[in-house]
Chains A and B, each alone.
Chain A
Amino acid sequence: MPVNQPVDKTFTKQSRAMNKVSSLSVASTIIAVIFCLPILVIISYLFAGAGPSWSHLVNTVLTGYISNSLLLMFGVGIGVLVLGLPAAWVTSICEFPGRKFFSWAVLLPLAMPAYIIAYTYTGLLDFAGPIQTSFRELTGLKYGEYWFPPIRSLTGAMLMLSLVLYPYIYMLARAAFIEQSICVLEASRSLGCTSFSAFYRVALPLARPAIITGLSLALMETLADYGTVAYFGISTFTTGIFRTWFGFGDEQSAVQLAAILLGFVILLVLMERRSRRKSRFHHTSNRYSTISRYQLQGYKKWAAVLCCALPLLFGFAIPVGQLLYWSLTQAAALDGSFIRLVWHSFYLGFAAAVLAVLLALIVSYAQRSSKSRWVQFSTGLTSMGYAMPGTIIAVGVLIPFAWFDHQLIAIAKSALDLDMGLLFSGTVVAMLFAYLVRFLSISINTVNSGLAKIKPSMDDAARSMGESRWGVLRKVHLPVMKSTVFTALLLVFVDVLKELPATIILRPFNFNTLAVRAHEMAGDERLVDAGPPALMIVLVGLIPVILLSRVISKSRAGQQKSDL
Chain B
Amino acid sequence: MGISIMSTRCAKFSEPTLKLLKPVIAAIVIAATSITSITATAETINVYSARKENLIKPLLDKFATVNDVEVNLISAGADELLKRLEVEGSASPADIFITVDAARLAQAKVAEVLQPIKSEWIEAHVPTHLQDTDKQWVGLSLRARPIFYVKNKVKPDEITTVEQLTDPKWKGRICIRSSSNVYNQSLVASLISHLGKEAATEWAKGLVANFAQPPSGGDTDQLKAAAAGVCDIAIANSYYYARLLTSDNPDNVAVGEKLGVIWPNQAEGDRGVHVNVSGAAITKASKNPEGAAKLIEFLLSPDSQEWYANVNNEYPVIPDVKVPEVLEHLGDFTSDDIDLTELGNYNREAVFLMDEANWK
Given contacts A428-B35, A504-B80, A508-B36, contact A411 B215 (CB under 8 A): no
Inter-subunit contact A231/B40 (CB<8 Å): no
Q: Give the segment of B51-59, B114-122, B124-132, B134-142 that binds chain A.
A: B51-59
Inter-subunit contact A429/B35 (CB<8 Å): yes
Inter-subunit contact B74/A402 (CB<8 Å): no
Inter-subunit contact B228/A133 (CB<8 Å): yes
Per DSSP, chain A at the interface is helix
Q: Give the segment of A238-246, A276-284, A438-446 that binds chain B.
A: A238-246
Cα A124 to Cα B211 with chains together (Å): 23
Cα A84 to Cα B44 with chains together (Å): 52
Inter-subunit contact B360/A509 (CB<8 Å): no
Inter-subunit contact A410/B10 (CB<8 Å): yes
Cα A461 to Cα B91 with chains together (Å): 58
Inter-subunit contact B225/A127 (CB<8 Å): yes
Inter-subunit contact B240/A525 (CB<8 Å): yes
Report if B180 contacts A (CB, 8 A): yes
Inter-subunit contact B52/A523 (CB<8 Å): yes
Inter-subunit contact B217/A245 (CB<8 Å): no
Report if B275 contacts A (CB, 8 A): no
Report if B12 contacts A (CB, 8 A): yes
Contacts of A510 in B (CB 8 A): 37, 72-74
Inter-subunit contact B38/A509 (CB<8 Å): yes
Cα A246 to Cα B86 with chains together (Å): 14
Contacts of A368 in B (CB 8 A): none
8 A Cβ contacts from A236-281 to B:
239, 242-243, 245-251
Given contacts A248-B348, A508-B37, contact A143 B25 (CB under 8 A): no
Query: 1/0 contact trace for A129-163 toward B, CB 8 Å?
Result: 00011000000001100000010100000000000
Inter-subunit contact A233/B214 (CB<8 Å): yes
Chain B residue at minimal CB-CB distance from A410? B11
Report if B218 contacts A (CB, 8 A): yes
Inter-subunit contact A414/B12 (CB<8 Å): yes
Inter-subunit contact B80/A394 (CB<8 Å): yes
Interface size class of B (residues with CB under 8 A): 35 or more
Q: Give the segment of B161-169, B301-309, B351-359 that binds chain A.
A: B351-359
Report if B89 contacts A (CB, 8 A): yes
Given contacts A505-B84, A524-B55, contact A511 B37 (CB under 8 A): yes
Contacts of B242 in A (CB 8 A): none
Query: 1/0 contact trace for B1-42 toward A, CB 8 Å?
Result: 111001110111100001001100110110011011111100
Instruction: Among A45, A132, A427, point to the contact of B38 (Cβ < 8 A).
Output: A427
Contacts of B180 in A (CB 8 A): 230, 239, 242-243, 247
Report if A412 contacts B (CB, 8 A): yes
Contacts of A429 in B (CB 8 A): 35
Report if A376 contacts B (CB, 8 A): no
Given contacts A127-B228, A243-B180, contact A60 B89 (CB under 8 A): no
Chain B residue at minimal CB-CB distance from A522? B218
Contacts of B352 in A (CB 8 A): 53, 56, 248
Report if A78 contacts B (CB, 8 A): no
Given contacts A403-B6, A403-B7, contact A512 B36 (CB under 8 A): no
Q: Give the segment of A90-98, A416-424, A452-460, A542-550 that binds chain B.
A: A416-424
Contacts of B221 in A (CB 8 A): 126, 128, 525
Report if A507 contacts B (CB, 8 A): yes
Q: Closest approach, in angstroms, between the C-beta of A197 and any C-beta of chain B? A: 45
Inter-subunit contact B220/A525 (CB<8 Å): yes
Inter-subunit contact A509/B37 (CB<8 Å): yes
Q: Closest approach, in angstroms, between the C-beta of A71 and any C-beta of chain B? A: 15
Instruction: Among B18, B36, B88, point to the contact of A402 (Cβ < 8 A).
Output: B88
Given contacts A403-B6, A509-B38, contact A391 B80 (CB under 8 A): yes
Inter-subunit contact B347/A249 (CB<8 Å): yes
Cα A412 to Cα B26 with chains together (Å): 8
Inter-subunit contact A423/B32 (CB<8 Å): yes
Cα A123 to Cα B10 with chains together (Å): 54
Report if B238 contacts A (CB, 8 A): no
Report if A467 contacts B (CB, 8 A): no
Instruction: Determine which residue in A127, A247, A407 has the highest number of CB atoms from chain B within 10 A of its CB, and name it.
Output: A247
Given contacts A152-B216, A239-B180, A405-B91, contact A424 B25 (CB under 8 A): no
Inter-subunit contact B21/A415 (CB<8 Å): yes
Given contacts A128-B255, A525-B220, contact A233 B38 (CB under 8 A): no
Cα A44 to Cα B6 with chains together (Å): 13
Inter-subunit contact A411/B21 (CB<8 Å): yes
8 A Cβ contacts from B207-234 to A:
213-221, 224-225, 227-230
Report if B152 contacts A (CB, 8 A): no
Inter-subunit contact B88/A53 (CB<8 Å): no
Q: Closest approach, in angstroms, between the C-beta of B92 and any C-beta of chain A? A: 7
| Besides the known contacts A152-B216, A246-B77, A402-B91, 9 further A-B residue pairs in the complex with CB atoms under 8 A apart | A127-B225, A127-B230, A233-B217, A250-B348, A409-B91, A410-B11, A427-B38, A505-B83, A528-B249
Report 8 cross-chain contacts, Cβ distance below 8 Å, ordered by A residue. Answer: A133-B228, A233-B178, A395-B80, A402-B7, A406-B7, A410-B10, A411-B11, A421-B38
Pairs A-B, 9 closest by C-beta atoms: A233-B216, A509-B72, A246-B79, A423-B32, A143-B229, A128-B228, A128-B224, A152-B216, A505-B80
Chain A positions near chain B (C-beta within 8 angstroms): 44-45, 48, 53, 56, 60-61, 122, 126-128, 132-133, 142-143, 150, 152, 230-233, 235, 239, 242-243, 245-251, 330, 391, 394-395, 398-399, 402-403, 405-412, 414-416, 418, 420-429, 501, 504-505, 507-512, 520-521, 523-525, 528
